[in-house]
Amino acid sequence: MDNRSDNVVDLESVLDEAGLKNAQVREYVAHWAALTGAARVEVVDAADDARLVQEALDAGELLPVGEGCYYSRSYHLDTARSEERTIVATGNPEDKGTYNNWRPSSEMKPLLEGLMRGASAGKTMYVVPYLMAPPGSPLERYAAGVELTDCRTVALHMIRMARVGVHHINDLQDPGSFVRAVHVTGDLENLGQGTPEDQRYFVTVADERTILHYGSSYGGNALLGKIAHGLRQAAYDGWRSGEFLAEQFMLLGIVDNETGERYHVAGGFPSASGKTNLAMTLAPESLGDRYRVEFYGDDITWLWVDPADGRLYGMNPEFGVFGVAKDTNEITNPTALHSVQDGSGAIFTNVAYNELTHEVWWEGRTPQPPADPAGWLDWKGLPIAEREPGDESPWAHPNSRFTTTLANVPNVAEDFEDPRGVRIDAIIFGGRTRDREPLIRAITDLPEGVYDGLTLGAEATFAADGVDGQLRYDPMSMRPFMSYPEAKYAAHWLDVIRRASDQPVFAHVNWFQRDPEDGHFLWPGYRENLRALLWLVWLKAGKVTGVPSAVGVLPQAEELHLDDLDLPQADLERILTVDIDRWCQEMGFREEHLRQFDGLPEEIWEAHRRVARDLGC
Ligand code: OXD
Ligand code: MN
């Protein structure tokens, strides 16, 4: 490794002053400071937040929102993750899967080094040591990383999304066991985003635990602790070590105030299927005295079995929430609104901003946009008042975000930082599906549960070439984050969960079934969804029995205790029955989907055939 960093004056004393002692981290910092040509290096600690915020405000990178919240706007072609430009690289061609865009690391590393060489000239390189786990977690050795970023707002987001400070990496048992996560923004105006000349590359060199992201400062591409480490790298580490699963799952707890019983539910949902709203849900008003819902995480869960008690555990490796703002309001997600209120330190990105009143707004925040356009700028920074008549384009970008810490979420669980994690009772999958999928169907067989996760999907609403009724499959909601072949992923799931002496119950949920005639939603959704989850944990506890069907156990209407809910009988019947014809059509699509995964465990195929046979297809 080239250790010179002539461009940074007195790098050694900068690192000394910051208390950065890990020699391998120091070497890594020096190498990348030299390669990227950064003018300065600064080591970041969570305690630097107020100073960095002030610097960002002074520089115009952040604008004030209310009291103690902030606004940032990203380059208009840099507002979302780019799946085509995201690559998993290793030295082993057998790591190529269906969705991981595998490339040889011998090709990608020199390419990325070439792009990053000199690309941070004149800028500060922020060194962000972080931990993606509560300290003391049994998975801590997979959780340490050091992000190098040449973007101050990325450092500020990292402080909210991960535990940040040198103490997380100074005393690693193996000093080299941190993830090397390098982020270089690049010249955003000249990267050809979305064209054949696209220069962006978001690469996880998984077998070297190195992440090299070039060409974006949008959170999903630039907060490397979150998606690149927390999901892609961790999934790979979990598989290679055989120890754990890293999944794009929310995690919540349900407490029965009367009996003191506690249940924990983790689950994956493809995007736009209501995962964040469910993660942050509250009990329905009529059940609020009896049940409390506790928030653990909205996006990532690491799962493992503790050999000491044979139980499945889960934890959220993140420290914050990076949530989609669109349609977040008092009805859909009051908890989220609470968590970004004045004084929370939240950062809003690409929503609409009022430069006079320092307010923010996004589509769905209120039924109508603010009546007086004075001071309002859209997400591109253009004045709303100067829009052409009839210009209905959104004020906020559809992928605009809020970033806030877990501790700001009003119903965060007391033990959300418990290093032991929480016992997982149920694993759920759910996609936005207008027909076929009942409200909930429980699956008590492990291979069938994994099969259900692998065939998870949501309606391909925007796919121009989507076949009517066919889902865009998104196995376990991990399609964009798969880092190794799907057949091995399935085998690893079976292997890890099978170790649990107390098996979790699986379930598929669907809050989005519609009436085929007039299109109305058959289920009220939102807080009422807790009723389906309660039924599921009662089923596991043997308090209800449900009724068996070919695709799992369905609730009997009375087991859902819906008396206080004004639900038409016909709607209720429809969401608690299985449409055999549609299911048989779906089984054909599933077969095609699963055939993409060479070497899928026979148990998964058996589950598929069993369901088809029981349906009578
Ligand atoms: C995502 C996210 O893109 O969580 O999935 O931000
Ligand atoms: Mn996500």
pLDDT digits (tens, 9 = 90+) for 359-383: 999 999 999 999 999 999 999 999 9
> Greater confidence, 470 or 399?
399
> Greater confidence, 557 or 5?
557
* Mean pLDDT, residues 434-450 taken together: 97
Assigned token pair, 390? 């009839």
Contacts of 462 (CB under 8 A, 6+ apart): none
pLDDT of residue 468: 65
Indicate if the alpha-carbon torsion angle 189, 403, 279, 202 is positive or negative: positive
pLDDT of residue 459: 84
Report the percent of the chain where pLDDT is more than 70. 97
pLDDT of residue 7: 73
pLDDT digits (tens, 9 = 90+) for 56-114: 999 999 999 999 999 999 999 999 999 999 999 999 999 999 999 999 999 999 999 99
Rounded distance between C-alpha atoms, residue 310 and residue 5, angstroms: 50
Hey, whose CA ends up nearest to atom 3 of ligand 1? 220
Residue type, 299: D
Nearest ligand, CA 223: 1
Nearest ligand, CA 401: 1
Rounded distance between C-alpha atoms, residue 44 and residue 46, angstroms: 7
* Mean pLDDT, residues 467-488 taken together: 91
* Mean pLDDT, residues 122-151 taken together: 98
Strands of 249-332 (E only): list them.
249-256, 262-268, 291-297, 301-306, 311-315, 320-324
Hey, whose CA ends up nearest to atom 6 of ligand 1? 220
pLDDT of residue 584: 97
Name beta bridge partners: 245: 303
pLDDT of residue 514: 95
pLDDT digits (tens, 9 = 90+) for 275-301: 999 999 999 999 999 999 999 999 999
CA of 482 to the centre of ligand 2 (A): 13
pLDDT of residue 168: 98
Atom of ligand 1 nearest to the CA of 324: 6
Decide: pTM greater than 0.85.
yes
| 160, 227, 273, 482: residue to mutate for ligand 1 pocket, most atoms within 8 A of CB | 227
Identify the three-state secondary structure at position 190: helix
| Cα R_g (the chain), whole angstroms | 24
Ligand 1-lining residues (CB < 6 angstroms): 81, 220, 299, 322
Task: Return mean pLDDT, the chain.
Answer: 96
CA of 349 to the centre of ligand 1 (A): 14
| 248, 275, 276, 402: residue to mutate for ligand 1 pocket, most atoms within 8 A of CB | 248
* Mean pLDDT, residues 193-202 taken together: 96
pLDDT digits (tens, 9 = 90+) for 448-467: 999 999 999 988 654 444 56
CA of 220 to the centre of ligand 2 (A): 8
Confidence grade of residue 5 (pLDDT, cut at 50, 70, 90):
low
Residue with tokens 């089923």: 539
